[in-house]
Structure 1
Amino acid sequence: MTQALRLMTYNIRLGIQQGLEAIADVIQTYAPDVVALQEVGHHWSMGPSGDSTGRLSQLTGLHYHSFIPAIVHDIPGRQPARYGQGLLSRWPIAELSIDPLPQHNDEPRRLARASIESPAGPIEVWCTHLSYKESDRPAQGAHLEASLRQAPACGAPGAPLARFVMGDFNEPEPVDWMSGICTLCLDPGAPEATWTFPADAPDRRIDFVLGQGARPLSHRVLDHPRASDHRPVLSLWEV
Protein backbone atom coordinates (compact mmCIF):
# COMPACT_ATOMS: atom_id res chain seq x y z
CA MET A 1 0.00 0.00 0.00
CA THR A 2 1.35 3.42 -0.92
CA GLN A 3 1.77 6.26 1.55
CA ALA A 4 1.74 9.99 0.90
CA LEU A 5 4.38 12.03 2.76
CA ARG A 6 4.16 15.78 3.32
CA LEU A 7 7.60 17.34 3.79
CA MET A 8 8.50 20.93 4.60
CA THR A 9 11.72 22.88 4.87
CA TYR A 10 11.69 26.24 6.63
CA ASN A 11 14.47 28.62 7.61
CA ILE A 12 12.80 30.34 10.58
CA ARG A 13 15.44 33.00 11.34
CA LEU A 14 15.30 32.09 15.05
CA GLY A 15 11.68 33.25 15.22
CA ILE A 16 12.89 36.81 15.78
CA GLN A 17 10.49 38.41 13.30
CA GLN A 18 7.08 37.46 14.66
CA GLY A 19 7.83 34.78 17.26
CA LEU A 20 7.57 31.01 17.30
CA GLU A 21 3.77 31.13 17.38
CA ALA A 22 3.72 32.68 13.92
CA ILE A 23 6.11 30.01 12.65
CA ALA A 24 3.92 27.31 14.19
CA ASP A 25 0.80 28.78 12.59
CA VAL A 26 2.43 28.53 9.17
CA ILE A 27 3.46 24.93 9.77
CA GLN A 28 0.06 23.89 11.12
CA THR A 29 -1.74 25.39 8.14
CA TYR A 30 -0.21 22.76 5.84
CA ALA A 31 -0.07 19.74 8.19
CA PRO A 32 3.35 18.41 7.15
CA ASP A 33 4.57 15.05 8.43
CA VAL A 34 8.23 16.09 8.67
CA VAL A 35 9.72 19.58 8.90
CA ALA A 36 13.39 20.49 8.52
CA LEU A 37 14.10 23.77 10.32
CA GLN A 38 17.12 26.03 9.90
CA GLU A 39 18.40 28.87 12.08
CA VAL A 40 17.04 27.44 15.32
CA GLY A 41 18.02 28.47 18.83
CA HIS A 42 18.33 26.45 22.03
CA HIS A 43 18.79 28.91 24.90
CA TRP A 44 20.41 31.13 22.27
CA SER A 45 21.13 34.83 22.76
CA MET A 46 18.79 35.90 19.95
CA GLY A 47 15.16 34.98 19.45
CA PRO A 48 12.79 33.39 21.97
CA SER A 49 14.41 31.88 25.06
CA GLY A 50 14.55 28.17 25.75
CA ASP A 51 14.29 25.18 23.41
CA SER A 52 12.74 26.46 20.16
CA THR A 53 12.55 22.99 18.58
CA GLY A 54 10.73 21.59 21.59
CA ARG A 55 8.40 24.58 21.71
CA LEU A 56 7.52 24.24 18.02
CA SER A 57 6.90 20.53 18.58
CA GLN A 58 4.36 21.43 21.28
CA LEU A 59 2.71 24.14 19.19
CA THR A 60 2.40 22.07 16.02
CA GLY A 61 1.58 18.65 17.48
CA LEU A 62 4.57 17.08 15.70
CA HIS A 63 5.56 15.23 18.83
CA TYR A 64 8.89 13.74 17.73
CA HIS A 65 11.69 16.27 17.48
CA SER A 66 15.45 16.67 17.52
CA PHE A 67 17.73 19.67 17.79
CA ILE A 68 20.92 19.65 15.71
CA PRO A 69 23.55 21.95 17.25
CA ALA A 70 26.14 23.63 15.06
CA ILE A 71 27.42 26.29 17.49
CA VAL A 72 27.69 25.76 21.25
CA HIS A 73 28.66 28.47 23.75
CA ASP A 74 29.22 27.19 27.29
CA ILE A 75 27.95 29.62 29.93
CA PRO A 76 28.97 28.92 33.56
CA GLY A 77 25.94 28.24 35.74
CA ARG A 78 23.52 28.30 32.81
CA GLN A 79 22.32 26.14 29.97
CA PRO A 80 24.76 26.13 27.05
CA ALA A 81 23.67 28.54 24.33
CA ARG A 82 23.27 26.55 21.11
CA TYR A 83 22.35 27.38 17.53
CA GLY A 84 21.68 25.11 14.58
CA GLN A 85 18.84 23.19 12.99
CA GLY A 86 15.73 21.37 14.12
CA LEU A 87 13.67 18.42 12.96
CA LEU A 88 9.96 17.90 13.66
CA SER A 89 8.22 14.62 12.83
CA ARG A 90 4.80 13.05 13.09
CA TRP A 91 6.51 9.67 13.43
CA PRO A 92 9.32 8.36 15.64
CA ILE A 93 12.88 9.41 14.87
CA ALA A 94 14.67 6.10 15.26
CA GLU A 95 18.22 7.33 14.71
CA LEU A 96 20.02 10.61 14.12
CA SER A 97 23.61 11.18 13.01
CA ILE A 98 25.27 14.58 12.70
CA ASP A 99 28.28 15.23 10.47
CA PRO A 100 30.40 18.41 10.53
CA LEU A 101 30.73 20.09 7.15
CA PRO A 102 33.98 21.58 5.83
CA GLN A 103 34.60 25.02 7.31
CA HIS A 104 37.09 27.71 6.33
CA ASN A 105 35.75 31.20 7.04
CA ASP A 106 32.15 30.87 8.15
CA GLU A 107 30.47 29.52 11.29
CA PRO A 108 30.18 25.72 11.74
CA ARG A 109 27.60 23.94 9.63
CA ARG A 110 26.14 20.43 9.94
CA LEU A 111 24.55 17.67 7.90
CA ALA A 112 22.00 15.67 9.91
CA ARG A 113 20.70 12.30 8.76
CA ALA A 114 17.59 10.98 10.49
CA SER A 115 15.91 7.61 10.17
CA ILE A 116 12.14 8.02 10.60
CA GLU A 117 9.61 5.23 11.10
CA SER A 118 6.88 6.23 8.64
CA PRO A 119 3.72 4.12 8.25
CA ALA A 120 5.07 2.90 4.90
CA GLY A 121 8.39 1.86 6.41
CA PRO A 122 11.73 3.48 7.24
CA ILE A 123 12.63 6.68 5.43
CA GLU A 124 15.69 8.91 5.73
CA VAL A 125 15.56 12.66 6.02
CA TRP A 126 18.80 14.55 5.48
CA CYS A 127 18.72 18.18 6.53
CA THR A 128 21.34 20.88 6.26
CA HIS A 129 22.04 24.60 6.11
CA LEU A 130 25.00 25.39 3.88
CA SER A 131 27.14 28.51 4.20
CA TYR A 132 26.24 31.79 2.56
CA LYS A 133 29.98 32.34 1.96
CA GLU A 134 31.36 31.28 -1.41
CA SER A 135 34.63 30.28 0.27
CA ASP A 136 32.90 27.52 2.29
CA ARG A 137 29.87 26.45 0.29
CA PRO A 138 31.52 24.50 -2.59
CA ALA A 139 33.30 22.12 -0.22
CA GLN A 140 30.12 21.68 1.82
CA GLY A 141 28.07 20.99 -1.29
CA ALA A 142 30.70 18.52 -2.53
CA HIS A 143 30.55 16.74 0.85
CA LEU A 144 26.76 16.45 0.55
CA GLU A 145 27.05 15.12 -3.00
CA ALA A 146 29.71 12.57 -2.00
CA SER A 147 27.62 11.41 0.96
CA LEU A 148 24.68 10.80 -1.34
CA ARG A 149 26.83 8.82 -3.76
CA GLN A 150 28.04 6.61 -0.92
CA ALA A 151 24.58 6.02 0.57
CA PRO A 152 22.92 2.65 -0.14
CA ALA A 153 20.27 2.66 -2.85
CA CYS A 154 16.75 3.16 -1.55
CA GLY A 155 14.82 -0.09 -1.30
CA ALA A 156 17.95 -2.24 -1.05
CA PRO A 157 18.22 -4.65 1.91
CA GLY A 158 18.84 -2.64 5.06
CA ALA A 159 18.31 0.66 3.23
CA PRO A 160 15.39 3.08 3.65
CA LEU A 161 12.41 3.02 1.33
CA ALA A 162 13.07 6.62 0.39
CA ARG A 163 15.54 9.38 1.17
CA PHE A 164 14.88 13.12 1.23
CA VAL A 165 17.41 15.96 1.24
CA MET A 166 16.02 19.18 2.67
CA GLY A 167 17.25 22.57 3.74
CA ASP A 168 18.69 25.95 2.94
CA PHE A 169 21.48 25.34 0.41
CA ASN A 170 22.26 29.06 -0.02
CA GLU A 171 23.02 28.30 -3.68
CA PRO A 172 20.89 29.92 -6.39
CA GLU A 173 23.06 28.80 -9.35
CA PRO A 174 23.43 25.39 -11.09
CA VAL A 175 27.03 24.95 -9.94
CA ASP A 176 28.76 21.57 -10.34
CA TRP A 177 27.94 20.16 -6.91
CA MET A 178 24.30 21.27 -7.15
CA SER A 179 23.97 19.72 -10.59
CA GLY A 180 25.56 16.54 -9.21
CA ILE A 181 23.05 16.32 -6.38
CA CYS A 182 20.18 16.83 -8.82
CA THR A 183 21.42 13.90 -10.91
CA LEU A 184 21.19 11.73 -7.79
CA CYS A 185 17.85 13.07 -6.54
CA LEU A 186 14.54 14.13 -8.03
CA ASP A 187 13.94 17.87 -7.85
CA PRO A 188 10.16 18.31 -8.07
CA GLY A 189 10.54 22.08 -8.09
CA ALA A 190 12.61 22.25 -11.29
CA PRO A 191 12.33 24.26 -13.38
CA GLU A 192 9.11 26.01 -12.35
CA ALA A 193 9.81 26.53 -8.65
CA THR A 194 9.04 29.92 -7.17
CA TRP A 195 11.90 31.81 -5.54
CA THR A 196 12.19 31.42 -1.78
CA PHE A 197 14.37 34.32 -0.53
CA PRO A 198 14.08 37.04 0.67
CA ALA A 199 10.54 36.32 1.81
CA ASP A 200 9.11 39.79 1.25
CA ALA A 201 10.36 40.05 -2.34
CA PRO A 202 11.95 36.76 -3.43
CA ASP A 203 14.53 36.86 -6.21
CA ARG A 204 16.31 33.49 -5.83
CA ARG A 205 15.65 29.85 -5.00
CA ILE A 206 17.90 28.56 -2.20
CA ASP A 207 15.54 26.29 -0.18
CA PHE A 208 15.08 22.74 -1.45
CA VAL A 209 13.28 19.43 -0.90
CA LEU A 210 14.81 16.67 -3.04
CA GLY A 211 14.08 12.96 -2.99
CA GLN A 212 15.17 9.44 -3.87
CA GLY A 213 13.02 6.32 -4.02
CA ALA A 214 9.71 8.21 -3.97
CA ARG A 215 7.38 9.74 -6.54
CA PRO A 216 6.79 13.50 -6.30
CA LEU A 217 3.14 14.53 -6.36
CA SER A 218 3.31 18.29 -5.82
CA HIS A 219 5.74 21.01 -4.79
CA ARG A 220 4.95 24.53 -3.57
CA VAL A 221 6.75 27.57 -2.26
CA LEU A 222 4.29 29.00 0.25
CA ASP A 223 3.19 32.62 0.24
CA HIS A 224 4.21 33.60 3.78
CA PRO A 225 6.35 36.74 3.58
CA ARG A 226 6.44 37.89 7.20
CA ALA A 227 6.99 35.09 9.74
CA SER A 228 10.60 34.64 8.57
CA ASP A 229 12.98 36.02 5.94
CA HIS A 230 12.62 32.75 3.96
CA ARG A 231 9.44 31.32 2.51
CA PRO A 232 8.69 27.71 3.48
CA VAL A 233 8.66 24.94 0.88
CA LEU A 234 6.07 22.14 0.99
CA SER A 235 6.60 18.97 -1.04
CA LEU A 236 4.22 15.99 -1.34
CA TRP A 237 5.65 12.55 -2.21
CA GLU A 238 4.36 8.99 -2.57
CA VAL A 239 6.25 5.92 -1.34
Structure 2
Amino acid sequence: MNCSPLAITIALLFASFASAETPQSLRVLSYNIHHCEGSDGKVDLPRIAKVIKSAAPDVVLLQEVDRHVARSGNIDQAVEIGRLTGMHVAFGGNLKIREGDYGNAILSRYPLRDVENRQLPNSNGGEPRGVLSVVVTVPNAEGEQDCRILATHFDHRPAPVDRLASVDDIEQWLSTENRLVVLGGDFNATQVSSVLEQIRKSWRLAVDGQKPTFPATTPSRQIDFISYRSPAPIQVSEVRVLDEAVASDHRPILATLILAGDQ
Protein backbone atom coordinates (compact mmCIF):
# COMPACT_ATOMS: atom_id res chain seq x y z
CA MET A 1 0.00 0.00 0.00
CA ASN A 2 1.45 3.38 -1.08
CA CYS A 3 0.82 6.55 0.95
CA SER A 4 1.27 10.10 -0.27
CA PRO A 5 3.88 12.32 1.47
CA LEU A 6 1.00 14.46 2.81
CA ALA A 7 -0.71 11.44 4.35
CA ILE A 8 2.55 10.30 5.97
CA THR A 9 3.14 13.78 7.39
CA ILE A 10 -0.38 13.95 8.82
CA ALA A 11 0.01 10.48 10.39
CA LEU A 12 3.32 11.44 12.00
CA LEU A 13 1.87 14.67 13.38
CA PHE A 14 -1.12 12.83 14.80
CA ALA A 15 1.11 10.20 16.42
CA SER A 16 3.28 12.93 17.93
CA PHE A 17 0.24 14.76 19.28
CA ALA A 18 -1.24 11.58 20.74
CA SER A 19 2.05 10.71 22.42
CA ALA A 20 2.35 14.18 23.93
CA GLU A 21 -1.18 13.95 25.30
CA THR A 22 -0.69 10.51 26.84
CA PRO A 23 -0.23 10.94 30.59
CA GLN A 24 2.84 9.37 32.17
CA SER A 25 2.25 7.20 35.18
CA LEU A 26 4.23 5.76 38.07
CA ARG A 27 3.01 2.36 39.25
CA VAL A 28 3.96 1.81 42.88
CA LEU A 29 3.58 -1.54 44.62
CA SER A 30 4.02 -2.00 48.38
CA TYR A 31 4.40 -5.54 49.70
CA ASN A 32 5.29 -6.99 53.10
CA ILE A 33 6.76 -10.29 51.88
CA HIS A 34 7.25 -12.00 55.30
CA HIS A 35 10.76 -13.13 54.23
CA CYS A 36 9.04 -14.89 51.31
CA GLU A 37 7.32 -17.38 53.63
CA GLY A 38 3.75 -18.00 52.59
CA SER A 39 0.68 -19.10 54.50
CA ASP A 40 1.58 -22.65 53.43
CA GLY A 41 4.85 -22.43 55.38
CA LYS A 42 7.00 -22.49 52.24
CA VAL A 43 9.79 -19.96 51.58
CA ASP A 44 9.36 -19.32 47.86
CA LEU A 45 11.16 -16.40 46.21
CA PRO A 46 10.02 -17.18 42.64
CA ARG A 47 6.42 -17.09 43.88
CA ILE A 48 6.93 -13.62 45.35
CA ALA A 49 8.66 -12.47 42.17
CA LYS A 50 5.74 -13.78 40.10
CA VAL A 51 3.26 -11.80 42.21
CA ILE A 52 5.34 -8.64 41.74
CA LYS A 53 5.68 -9.10 37.99
CA SER A 54 1.93 -9.69 37.63
CA ALA A 55 1.30 -6.07 38.66
CA ALA A 56 3.85 -4.61 36.19
CA PRO A 57 5.07 -2.01 38.72
CA ASP A 58 7.64 0.72 38.12
CA VAL A 59 8.82 0.73 41.74
CA VAL A 60 8.28 -1.79 44.52
CA LEU A 61 8.49 -1.16 48.26
CA LEU A 62 9.27 -4.36 50.16
CA GLN A 63 9.23 -5.03 53.89
CA GLU A 64 10.44 -8.01 55.98
CA VAL A 65 13.25 -8.88 53.59
CA ASP A 66 16.01 -11.29 54.66
CA ARG A 67 19.65 -11.09 53.62
CA HIS A 68 21.80 -14.14 54.41
CA VAL A 69 19.46 -15.43 57.13
CA ALA A 70 19.33 -19.17 57.84
CA ARG A 71 15.52 -19.43 58.00
CA SER A 72 15.29 -18.36 54.34
CA GLY A 73 18.25 -20.32 53.01
CA ASN A 74 20.99 -17.71 53.57
CA ILE A 75 19.95 -15.98 50.36
CA ASP A 76 20.19 -12.27 49.66
CA GLN A 77 16.48 -12.00 48.99
CA ALA A 78 16.52 -8.44 47.64
CA VAL A 79 19.20 -9.27 45.07
CA GLU A 80 17.50 -12.51 44.06
CA ILE A 81 14.05 -10.92 43.69
CA GLY A 82 15.68 -8.14 41.68
CA ARG A 83 17.22 -10.75 39.39
CA LEU A 84 13.93 -12.64 39.00
CA THR A 85 11.99 -9.47 38.17
CA GLY A 86 14.72 -7.77 36.13
CA MET A 87 14.65 -4.67 38.34
CA HIS A 88 17.27 -2.51 40.03
CA VAL A 89 17.47 -3.12 43.77
CA ALA A 90 18.49 -1.46 47.05
CA PHE A 91 18.37 -3.00 50.52
CA GLY A 92 18.37 -1.44 53.98
CA GLY A 93 18.98 -3.71 56.93
CA ASN A 94 17.61 -2.68 60.32
CA LEU A 95 17.83 -5.82 62.44
CA LYS A 96 20.75 -8.25 62.72
CA ILE A 97 19.76 -11.93 62.74
CA ARG A 98 22.94 -13.81 63.58
CA GLU A 99 25.20 -13.15 60.59
CA GLY A 100 22.38 -11.85 58.43
CA ASP A 101 20.17 -8.77 58.12
CA TYR A 102 16.44 -8.06 58.00
CA GLY A 103 14.82 -4.92 56.69
CA ASN A 104 13.33 -3.12 53.70
CA ALA A 105 14.12 -3.15 49.99
CA ILE A 106 13.22 -1.11 46.93
CA LEU A 107 12.98 -2.46 43.38
CA SER A 108 12.80 -0.16 40.39
CA ARG A 109 12.60 -0.26 36.62
CA TYR A 110 14.76 2.86 36.71
CA PRO A 111 18.35 3.15 37.98
CA LEU A 112 18.69 4.01 41.66
CA ARG A 113 20.90 6.68 43.17
CA ASP A 114 21.34 8.50 46.49
CA VAL A 115 20.51 5.32 48.38
CA GLU A 116 20.17 5.93 52.11
CA ASN A 117 18.90 3.78 54.96
CA ARG A 118 17.76 5.82 57.95
CA GLN A 119 17.09 4.33 61.37
CA LEU A 120 13.77 5.33 62.95
CA PRO A 121 13.01 6.13 66.60
CA ASN A 122 13.09 3.09 68.85
CA SER A 123 12.03 3.22 72.50
CA ASN A 124 11.92 0.64 75.30
CA GLY A 125 13.85 -2.05 73.47
CA GLY A 126 11.59 -2.35 70.46
CA GLU A 127 12.61 -4.03 67.22
CA PRO A 128 14.81 -1.64 65.19
CA ARG A 129 12.93 -0.10 62.27
CA GLY A 130 14.08 2.06 59.38
CA VAL A 131 13.16 3.89 56.21
CA LEU A 132 15.01 3.17 52.97
CA SER A 133 15.30 6.04 50.49
CA VAL A 134 16.32 6.17 46.83
CA VAL A 135 16.06 8.73 44.05
CA VAL A 136 14.92 7.74 40.56
CA THR A 137 14.38 9.68 37.36
CA VAL A 138 11.03 8.86 35.79
CA PRO A 139 9.23 10.03 32.64
CA ASN A 140 6.47 12.62 33.03
CA ALA A 141 4.12 14.51 30.74
CA GLU A 142 6.84 16.96 29.69
CA GLY A 143 9.93 14.77 29.69
CA GLU A 144 11.27 13.44 32.97
CA GLN A 145 11.58 14.27 36.64
CA ASP A 146 13.39 13.14 39.75
CA CYS A 147 11.44 11.69 42.61
CA ARG A 148 12.35 10.24 45.99
CA ILE A 149 10.98 6.82 46.88
CA LEU A 150 10.75 5.69 50.51
CA ALA A 151 10.00 2.21 51.86
CA THR A 152 9.35 1.73 55.56
CA HIS A 153 7.98 -0.61 58.21
CA PHE A 154 6.78 1.07 61.39
CA ASP A 155 6.82 -0.38 64.91
CA HIS A 156 4.22 -3.07 65.54
CA ARG A 157 3.52 -2.67 69.27
CA PRO A 158 0.05 -1.53 70.41
CA ALA A 159 1.16 1.88 71.71
CA PRO A 160 1.69 4.28 68.76
CA VAL A 161 4.60 6.14 70.37
CA ASP A 162 7.33 4.97 68.00
CA ARG A 163 5.07 5.10 64.94
CA LEU A 164 4.19 8.73 65.65
CA ALA A 165 7.84 9.54 66.34
CA SER A 166 8.80 7.89 63.06
CA VAL A 167 6.32 10.01 61.10
CA ASP A 168 7.76 13.14 62.74
CA ASP A 169 11.32 12.02 62.06
CA ILE A 170 10.64 11.48 58.36
CA GLU A 171 8.82 14.81 58.16
CA GLN A 172 11.73 16.72 59.69
CA TRP A 173 14.22 14.91 57.47
CA LEU A 174 12.30 15.84 54.30
CA SER A 175 11.25 19.34 55.38
CA THR A 176 13.16 20.99 52.51
CA GLU A 177 12.35 18.40 49.84
CA ASN A 178 10.79 20.05 46.79
CA ARG A 179 9.95 17.23 44.44
CA LEU A 180 7.61 14.27 44.27
CA VAL A 181 8.14 11.97 47.25
CA VAL A 182 6.42 8.60 47.60
CA LEU A 183 6.28 6.98 51.04
CA GLY A 184 4.83 3.53 51.45
CA GLY A 185 5.03 0.34 53.39
CA ASP A 186 3.61 -1.49 56.37
CA PHE A 187 2.52 1.32 58.70
CA ASN A 188 1.11 -1.08 61.32
CA ALA A 189 -1.79 1.35 61.72
CA THR A 190 -5.30 1.67 60.33
CA GLN A 191 -7.12 4.51 58.57
CA VAL A 192 -8.71 5.71 61.82
CA SER A 193 -5.51 5.70 63.90
CA SER A 194 -3.60 8.67 65.27
CA VAL A 195 -0.69 7.58 63.07
CA LEU A 196 -2.64 7.98 59.85
CA GLU A 197 -4.08 11.24 61.14
CA GLN A 198 -0.53 12.49 61.60
CA ILE A 199 0.53 11.29 58.15
CA ARG A 200 -2.38 13.08 56.48
CA LYS A 201 -1.07 16.43 57.76
CA SER A 202 1.81 16.31 55.26
CA TRP A 203 1.01 13.45 52.89
CA ARG A 204 -1.83 12.41 50.64
CA LEU A 205 -2.88 8.80 50.83
CA ALA A 206 -3.32 7.13 47.46
CA VAL A 207 -6.72 6.01 48.74
CA ASP A 208 -8.86 7.10 51.68
CA GLY A 209 -11.33 4.25 51.48
CA GLN A 210 -10.64 0.89 53.07
CA LYS A 211 -8.48 -1.52 51.05
CA PRO A 212 -7.84 -4.41 53.47
CA THR A 213 -4.40 -5.99 53.13
CA PHE A 214 -4.02 -8.09 56.28
CA PRO A 215 -4.18 -10.95 57.05
CA ALA A 216 -3.66 -12.22 53.52
CA THR A 217 -5.97 -15.22 53.83
CA THR A 218 -9.03 -13.15 54.80
CA PRO A 219 -8.08 -9.44 54.83
CA SER A 220 -10.00 -7.47 57.44
CA ARG A 221 -7.95 -4.28 57.84
CA GLN A 222 -5.60 -2.10 55.88
CA ILE A 223 -2.18 -1.52 57.44
CA ASP A 224 -0.20 -1.26 54.19
CA PHE A 225 -0.30 2.14 52.50
CA ILE A 226 1.11 4.23 49.69
CA SER A 227 1.25 7.99 50.23
CA TYR A 228 2.82 10.88 48.37
CA ARG A 229 3.39 14.60 48.26
CA SER A 230 4.40 16.82 45.39
CA PRO A 231 4.78 20.51 44.48
CA ALA A 232 2.97 19.73 41.22
CA PRO A 233 -0.50 18.21 40.86
CA ILE A 234 -0.69 14.42 41.08
CA GLN A 235 -3.70 12.30 40.21
CA VAL A 236 -4.28 8.72 41.29
CA SER A 237 -5.85 6.62 38.58
CA GLU A 238 -5.93 3.26 40.34
CA VAL A 239 -5.51 1.71 43.75
CA ARG A 240 -6.07 -1.98 44.26
CA VAL A 241 -5.06 -4.84 46.50
CA LEU A 242 -3.77 -7.83 44.59
CA ASP A 243 -5.78 -11.02 44.96
CA GLU A 244 -2.96 -13.09 46.46
CA ALA A 245 -3.66 -15.04 49.63
CA VAL A 246 -0.77 -17.51 49.88
CA ALA A 247 2.64 -16.00 49.01
CA SER A 248 2.90 -13.87 52.21
CA ASP A 249 0.88 -12.98 55.29
CA HIS A 250 0.07 -9.58 53.71
CA ARG A 251 -1.48 -8.79 50.35
CA PRO A 252 0.34 -6.31 48.12
CA ILE A 253 -1.23 -2.94 47.33
CA LEU A 254 -0.74 -1.11 44.02
CA ALA A 255 -1.25 2.60 43.27
CA THR A 256 -0.88 4.28 39.89
CA LEU A 257 0.10 7.96 40.07
CA ILE A 258 -0.38 10.22 37.04
CA LEU A 259 2.57 12.58 36.86
CA ALA A 260 2.41 16.25 35.98
CA GLY A 261 5.07 18.17 34.07
CA ASP A 262 8.40 19.48 35.27
CA GLN A 263 8.52 20.59 38.89
The answer to whether the 8 A contact 1:167-1:208 is kept is: yes
Q: Pick one of 165, 185, 206 that aligns with 2:203.
A: 185
2:45 is the alignment partner of 1:20: yes
Match of 2:226 in 1: 209
The answer to whether the 8 A contact 2:188-2:223 is kept is: yes
Q: Pick one of 20, 26, 30 that aligns with 1:5.
A: 26
Task: Please list every run of 5 or more consecutive structure 1 residues that lacks an aligned counterpart in the other structure.
Answer: 75-79
**Deviation of 1:121 (Å):** 1.2
Match of 1:148 in 2: 171
Match of 1:54 in 2: 79
CA-to-aligned-CA distance 1:190-220 (integer Å, 9 cap, x gap): 12x3210000011111000011123211111
> What SS does the aligned partner of 1:228 have?
coil
Matched residue type, 2:116: S
> What SS does the aligned partner of 2:75 have?
coil
**Deviation of 1:152 (Å):** 4.5
Match of 2:17 in 1: none
Q: Which runs of 4+ in 1 moved over 3 A?
A: none
Distance 1:175 1:20 in 2: 33
The answer to whether the 8 A contact 2:212-2:219 is kept is: yes
Structure 1 pair 73–176 and aligned structure 2 pair: CA distance change class (3 A)? closer
Q: CA RMSD in A?
A: 1.8
Match of 1:35 in 2: 60
Matched residue type, 2:127: E
**Deviation of 1:146 (Å):** 4.5
> What SS does the aligned partner of 1:55 have?
helix
TM-score normalised according to structure 2 size: 0.80
CA-to-aligned-CA distance 1:108-138 (integer Å, 9 cap, x gap): 1101222112232110111110121124x42
2:97 is the alignment partner of 1:97: no
> What SS does the aligned partner of 1:184 have?
coil
Q: Pick one of 96, 104, 107 that aligns with 1:85.
A: 104
**Deviation of 1:153 (Å):** 6.2
CA-to-aligned-CA distance 1:22-61 (integer Å, 9 cap, x gap): 1111111111000000000000122243110010011111
Matched residue type, 1:211: Y
TM-score normalised according to structure 1 size: 0.88
Q: Tell me whether 172-181 or 222-231 shows the greater mean CA deviation.
A: 172-181
The answer to whether the 8 A contact 1:12-1:23 is kept is: yes
Match of 2:5 in 1: none
Distance 1:102 1:203 in 2: 28
**Deviation of 1:143 (Å):** 2.7
CA-to-aligned-CA distance 1:149-188 (integer Å, 9 cap, x gap): 552466xxxx32x111100011125233321211322212
Q: Pick one of 81, 106, 127 that aligns with 2:151.
A: 127
> What SS does the aligned partner of 1:72 have?
strand
Structure with the larger helix share? 2
Structure 1 pair 221–58 and aligned structure 2 pair: CA distance change class (3 A)? same
The answer to whether the 8 A contact 1:149-1:184 is kept is: no
Q: Report sequence identity in percent.
A: 29
Matched residue type, 1:183: K
Match of 1:77 in 2: none
Matched residue type, 2:85: T
